[in-house]
Amino acid sequence: MPGCERGKIMNKFADLIDENLEELAALETCDVGKVYSFETNVDIPSISKELRYFAGSADKIHGKTLKLSSEFQGYTLLEPIGVVGLIIPWNYPSAMFVLKCAPALAAGCTMVIKPAEQAPLTALYLAHLAKLAGIPNGVLNVVTGFGDTSGAAVASHMDIDCVSFTGSTEVGRLVMQAAATSNLKTVSLELGGKSPLLIFEDANVNQAADLALLGCLANKGEICVCSSRVFVQEGIYDKLVENLVEKLKTWVVGDPFDPSTRQGPQVILELTSKISNYMIILCIDKSIRYGFTLFRYG
C-alpha cells in the first residue's frame, strides 16, 4: 500500500479516537485507576496527535543517493522490517499502544501487540477502532495474556522480525535473551529509571514543592521518570519538608471518576501493599516524609 494511503487510514484512525475519547478514557480509568479528568483532557487526546504525526511521515520515508569516489552511484533504500512484536506496559496502556504501533504502521509493517495482563481493555478497543478505520485484517493484531506465555511467545517467535518492550529490567533481559536464541530479531528496550531532583537554596520553595509532588506522584508514581529521590540543600530542607506536608494534606486519593480526586488507586493490589511498606520503613527516618526520599546536603 502506498504511504499516502497508509497515512489516510491512520488519520481516520485518529479521527475515531477523537470521536470515542470518553469511551477510551473510561476504559483506561476502570482498567488502571487513572483520574478520568486527566484521561479526557490530556492522555487520550495526545494519542490521536501522535497518530497524526506519524501519518504525516508515512509517505516521506526516503533513502539516500550517494556519489561514490569512482564512476559508480550508490543508494540506500528503506524498507519495512516485517512483523514487529510490541509489548506494552500497564502504566500508560493507550499512549504506549499508539507510540509503538503508529511508526510501525507508517513504515508499512504488520504487528502483534501484547498488552499488559493488568490493562488489556484499551488495547482491544483501539484494535476495534483500527479495524473501523480501514486497517486491513492481519496488519494490527492484539494478543492478550500473561508475560511468561504470550509475551515470551512474541519475544521468541521465529517469524517476528523486531520486538519492542517497555517494562522492567528483569523482563527486558528475558526479552533480549529470547530474541538472541530465536532469530536474532532486532530489540528495542525501554526499562525505566529513577531520576533525581536537586533543589538548591536559591529555589522558590513553594514552586519546588509543587514540582517535587508532580515528579513523585504523577500518574500515582507509576511512571518511569518519577523524581522520587529529592536532594535538598540543607538551608531550605526543613522549610521544604513543611511545605510538602501542608500540600499533601490537601491531596485527595480516591474514586478516579470524582472530579476532586488527585490520585486514583494503584493498578495492582500488591503494589499498594509494597508502597505502604516502603512508607512505614522510610518514615522511621526523620529525613523521610510521605514516601519521598529526601537527602540533606550542605
Q: Which residues are identified as catalytic?
A: 190, 224
Question: Which grid coordinates are listed for 40?
Answer: 479526557
Please provide residue 250's backbone torsions phi and psi, each rounded to the nearest 5 degrees: -95, 0
The residues, ordered by sequence, that sit 6+ positions from 23 with a Cβ below 8 Å of its Cβ are 125
| Angle at alpha carbon of residue 139, lines to 3 and 5, rounded to 5° | 20
The residues, ordered by sequence, that sit 6+ positions from 242 with a Cβ below 8 Å of its Cβ are none
Count Cα neighbours of 130 within 13 Å in the Cβ-side half-sphere: 24
The owner of cell 501522535 is 50
Q: What's CA 251's distance to the chain center, in Å? A: 24
